[in-house]
Structure 1
Amino acid sequence: MGPVQSNEQSCPVVNLDYSAHRPQGEWIRTFDELRAEAPWYRNDFGPGFWMMLNHEGILEILQNPEDFSSSSVVAMDPDPAYRWIPEMLDGEEHREWRRQLAPAFSPRAIVRLEDRVRSWAREVIDRIAEQGSCDFMAEFAQIYPTTIFLDLMGLPAAELDTFMEWEHQILRSPKTEEGRVLRMRAMRAVTGYFAEVVARKRREPGDDLISAALRFRIGGKPVGEEDLLAFCLLMFMAGLDTVTATLGWSFLHLARNPEDRERIVADPELIPGAIEEFVRAYAIVLPGRKATRDTEVQGCPIKEGDMVLLPLNAATRDDGAFDDARTVRIDRSPNNHIGFGAGPHRCLGSHLARRELRIAFEEWHARIPSYRLADEGSRELLESGGQLTLTTPLHLTWDV
Structure 2
Amino acid sequence: MTAVADSSKNTTKRATGPVVDFADLMQCPVARKPFEHFDKIDELRETDDIHFGDASGHPFWAVTAMEPIREALQNPQLFSSTAVLPDTPEPPYLWIPEMLDAPKHNKWRKLLGPLFSPGAVEALEPKIRERFGVIIDEVAPRGECDFVQDVALKFPNQIFMDIMGMPITDADQFQEWETAILHEGSSASGRALEAMGGVHAYFTDVIAQRREDPRSDIISKALSWTIDGEPISNDDMMAFCLLMFMAGLDTVATQLTYSFQHLATHDEDRRRINEDPSLIGPAMEEFMRYYAFVTPGRKVMQDTCLAGVDVKAGEMVWLPIVAANRDEGEFPNANEVIIDRAENRHIAFGAGPHRCLGAHLARLEMNVAMEEWHKRVPNYRIDTSIPIREHGGQIGLSNLPLVWDV
1:274 to 2:283 alignment: yes
Match of 1:69 in 2: 80
Larger mean CA deviation between 35-44 and 247-256 belongs to 35-44
1:156 to 2:167 alignment: yes
Separation in structure 2 between the aligned mates of residue 220 and residue 300 of structure 1, nearest angstrom? 43
Q: Which residue identity is paired with 1:28? A: F
Match of 1:382 in 2: 390
Match of 2:266 in 1: 257
Taking only the aligned residue pairs, the percentage that are identical comes to 46
Kindly state the Cα deviation for residue 23 of structure 1 after the two structures are TM-superposed.
1.1
Q: Which residue identity is paired with 2:213? A: E
Match of 1:113 in 2: 124
Separation in structure 1 between the aligned mates of residue 397 and residue 184 of structure 2, nearest angstrom? 15
Separation in structure 2 between the aligned mates of residue 161 and residue 72 of structure 1, nearest angstrom? 31
Separation in structure 2 between the aligned mates of residue 257 and residue 88 of structure 1, nearest angstrom? 38
Q: Which residue identity is paired with 2:41? A: F
Separation in structure 2 between the aligned mates of residue 168 and residue 294 of structure 1, nearest angstrom? 38
Separation in structure 1 between the aligned mates of residue 241 and residue 142 of structure 2, nearest angstrom? 36
Separation in structure 2 between the aligned mates of residue 277 and residue 57 of structure 1, nearest angstrom? 22
Structure 1 residues 366 and 216, CA, compared in 2 at 3 Å: closer, same or farther? same
Give TM-score scaled by structure 1 length: 0.94
Unmatched tracts of structure 2, length 5 or more: none
Which string of whole-angstrom CA distances, capped at 9 and with x for unpartnered residues, describes residues 159-196 of structure 1? 223222332343346458x44x7655543432221111
Kindly state the Cα deviation for residue 75 of structure 1 after the two structures are TM-superposed.
1.4
Secondary structure in structure 2 of the residue aligned to 1:43: strand
Q: Which residue identity is paired with 2:375? A: A
Match of 1:210 in 2: 219
Separation in structure 2 between the aligned mates of residue 84 and residue 150 of structure 1, nearest angstrom? 19
Instruction: Provide the aligned C-alpha RMSD in A.
Output: 1.8
Structure 1 residues 184 and 139, CA, compared in 2 at 3 Å: closer, same or farther? closer
Q: Which residue identity is paired with 2:395? A: L
Correspondence 1:84-233 to 2 at 5 A = 84-172=95-183, 174-175=185-186, 178-179=188-189, 183=192, 185-233=194-242
Structure 1 residues 269 and 4, CA, compared in 2 at 3 Å: closer, same or farther? farther
**Does the 8 Å contact 1:19/1:172 carry over to 2?**
no
Structure 1 residues 123 and 354, CA, compared in 2 at 3 Å: closer, same or farther? same
Match of 2:70 in 1: 59
Secondary structure in structure 1 of the residue aligned to 2:142: coil
Larger mean CA deviation between 57-66 and 181-190 belongs to 181-190
Structure 1 residues 35 and 397, CA, compared in 2 at 3 Å: closer, same or farther? same
Which string of whole-angstrom CA distances, capped at 9 and with x for unpartnered residues, describes residues 197-246 of structure 1? 01111222112111111111111221111101111111111111000000
**Does the 8 Å contact 2:185/2:392 carry over to 1?**
no
Match of 1:399 in 2: 405
Match of 2:326 in 1: 317
Separation in structure 1 between the aligned mates of residue 342 and residue 144 of structure 2, nearest angstrom? 34
Q: Which residue identity is paired with 1:43? A: G
**Does the 8 Å contact 1:124/1:140 carry over to 2?**
yes
Separation in structure 2 between the aligned mates of residue 363 and residue 35 of structure 1, nearest angstrom? 36
Separation in structure 1 between the aligned mates of residue 170 and residue 331 of structure 2, nearest angstrom? 42
Kindly state the Cα deviation for residue 45 of structure 1 after the two structures are TM-superposed.
3.6
**Does the 8 Å contact 2:390/2:397 carry over to 1?**
yes
Match of 1:39 in 2: 49
Q: Which residue identity is paired with 1:366? A: K
Structure 1 residues 173 and 84, CA, compared in 2 at 3 Å: closer, same or farther? farther
Separation in structure 2 between the aligned mates of residue 5 and residue 199 of structure 1, nearest angstrom? 49
Match of 2:28 in 1: 20
Give TM-score scaled by structure 2 length: 0.93
Unmatched tracts of structure 1, length 5 or more: none
Q: What is the total number of aligned residue pairs between the two structures?
A: 395
